[in-house]
Amino acid sequence: MSTKPERALPEVRFLTVSEVASAMRVSKMTVYRLVHAGNLPAVRVGRSFRVPEKAVHEYLRDSFVEAG
């Protein structure tokens, strides 16, 4: 059992690799690399992946660096 509260599955919005790539302004291959490296969680559906939208936001927030 998980100790952190989880959102109900119907409330989770999943994005395709193409949608994630578009949102992050990177190539689809970059998204696949992030998924395979374990840096971006994803669910495999058949031969494709779906990434929880919240995971994309968390990845971007955690990867943000301040220039200065």
pTM, entire model: 0.80
Asked if residue 3 belongs to a domain, the reply is no
Asked if residue 68 belongs to a domain, the reply is no
* pLDDT value, residue 5: 60
Tokens of 21: 């790539």
Average pLDDT, the chain: 90
* pLDDT value, residue 29: 98
What is the distance between the alpha carbons of residues 4 and 33, in angstroms, rounded to a whole number? 27
* pLDDT value, residue 30: 98
* pLDDT value, residue 37: 97
Asked if residue 19 belongs to a domain, the reply is yes
Number of domains in the chain: 1
CATH of the domain at 19: 1.10.1660
Element (H, E) at 60: helix 53-63
Q: What are phi and psi of 45, to 5 degrees?
A: -125, 105
What is the distance between the alpha carbons of residues 51 and 49, in angstroms, rounded to a whole number? 7
Expressed as residue numbers, the domain containing 50 is 11-63
The parts of the chain modelled with pLDDT lower than 70 are 1-7, 9
Contact 32, 17 (CB under 8 A): yes
Asked if residue 5 belongs to a domain, the reply is no
Asked if residue 30 belongs to a domain, the reply is yes
